[in-house]
Amino acid sequence: MRPLNIAVLGATGSIGRQTLDVIDRNPARFKLFGLSEGVRSTNRKAEYLVHGHAGEPEFDAQVEAMVTDPRCDLVVVAIPGARALKPTMSALHAGKEVALATKEVLVMAGALVMKAAGERGIRPIDSEHSAIWQCLWGEERKNVRGLIITASGGPFWAHPELDLDQVTVEQALNHPKWSMGPKVTIDSATLMNKGLELIEAHHLFGIPLDAISVCIHPQSVIHSLVEFIDGSLKAQLGRPDMRLPIAVALAYPDRLPNAVPPTSPRELSGLEFHDLDESRFPSVQLARQAAARSGGHPAVLNAANEEAVNAFLGGDVPFSGIVRVVERALSAFPGGGGTLEEILEADRWARAYIRENSVV
């Protein structure tokens, strides 16, 4: 069997580089067919080497050609934020397998993305969704009672003494367990990451929003759980190493030998679980409400959050202002439907609202 031709969008990033590592270590199975790079470089050669940023006409055209090329088998999407929606839809419409790290794509347009994916579905890379996916293999949906998404809690959960109006960018970027790009690291600190993941899980697995909960698990060993109607819980465990969910997504339905070093049960002692304090971290509740209102609301949640995270990183809003900005945008949103054009319009509306109303 020839190796799978893989295109990696966002190849210079945290997920992108780890994907290249998985590809490099399995040359009989995988071939780097194409990649996109932003300001950084991987110094790689491939059939397609695309430089620049989504939204630039040449970049968009070259990415479109790469992900729809008949020789391309699988597209890894790891460009953060709303910019990843268009190439994801192009790849799906061209019948490609998609391994998705960018949760924002499913938050914005989950129903449309899952419809375009059809029977193939989407291969999740987010560790929580990879865990749930693996727990669901061989199980019938009618036997699932709910999903429990675990959260490390980020850098501030364990420090109730900290005033979240005063924490610095450096403190917020200092994640206790995972080494990731800045956007997802700040989302982890506000817990908005869990709100986005809740919406992502709802679409990926077709589970109602009220059957999905979030639980703080500071050790990040259990990556998420599935609860069954008979009272059974299934969990997927492992070290916090994204190369494992990436390997699972690329090799599905097979598994790669030694994708990561084995985990000894001795490493698993002292696991803790705590309820989420929603008054200190209101983002999960906000995301749940936006998803329940559907239409353009999740796109507004996502766009307002992206703008607010950038404003925080640029020193323009305090840390606790991030969720306040999202809340204000959602309250002001006049509503809108769920077609692709309406979703993109909701995204534009939220960004313009934030710019024009001095929300940040």
Which one, 283 or 328, has the nearer CB to ligand NAP?
A: 283
Dist. CA 303–CA 324, nearest whole Å:
14
Q: What's the closest the beta carbon of residue 205 comes to ligand NAP, in angstroms?
A: 17
For residues 28 and 39, which CB has a smaller minimum distance to ligand NAP in the complex?
Answer: 39
Closer by beta carbon to ligand NAP, 184 or else 322: 184
CB neighbours of residue 47 within 10 Å: 15
- The 10 Å Cβ neighbour count of residue 71 is 11
Write down the least CB distance from residue 314 to ligand NAP, Å.
15
Q: Residues in the site for ligand NAP, rule: CB under 6 A?
A: 10-16, 36-40, 53-54, 78-80, 83, 101-104, 126, 178, 180-181, 184, 242
CB of 127 to ligand NAP, least distance (A): 6
* 199 Cβ contact partners less than 8 Å away, ≥ 6 residues apart: 106, 107, 110, 209, 287, 290, 291, 298
Residue 91 or 328: the one with the smaller Cβ distance to ligand NAP is 91
**Residue with smaller CB distance to ligand NAP, 15 or 23:** 15
Comparison of 19 and 328: residue with beta carbon closer to ligand NAP: 19
Nearest-approach distance from CB 260 to ligand NAP, in angstroms = 14
In terms of CB distance, is 83 or 328 closer to ligand NAP? 83
DSSP three-state, residue 322? helix
How far lies 22's CA from each of 25, 71, 235, 250, 314, in Å?
5, 20, 24, 9, 34
- The C-alpha atoms of residue 220 and residue 218 are separated, in whole angstroms, by 6
Estimate the crossing angle of helix 103-117 against helix 192-205, to 10 degrees.
10
SS3 state of residue 31: strand
Nearest approach, Cβ of residue 350 and ligand NAP (Å): 17
Strands, sheet with 4-9, edge to edge from the N-terminal-most edge strand:
48-51, 30-37, 4-9, 74-77, 97-100, 123-124
Query: Which is closer to ligand NAP, CB of 240 or CB of 336?
Result: 240
Give the shortest CB-140-to-ligand NAP separation in angstroms. Answer: 28
Strand order in the sheet with 233-237: 212-216, 144-151, 222-228, 233-237
b/e string for 75-105 if b means 16 or more Cβ within 10 A? bbbbbbbbbbbbbbbbbbeeebbbbbbbbbb
Residue 165 beta carbon to ligand NAP: minimum distance, rounded to whole angstroms? 25
- Bridge partners (DSSP) of residue 303 are none
Q: Which is nearer to ligand NAP, 79 or 359 (CB)?
A: 79
For the bound state, the minimum distance from the C-beta of residue 10 to ligand NAP, rounded and expressed in Å, comes to 3
The one-letter amino acid at 290:
A
Q: Residue type for 12, please?
A: T
CB of 104 to ligand NAP, least distance (A): 6
> Do 196 and 187 contact (CB within 8 A), yes or no?
yes
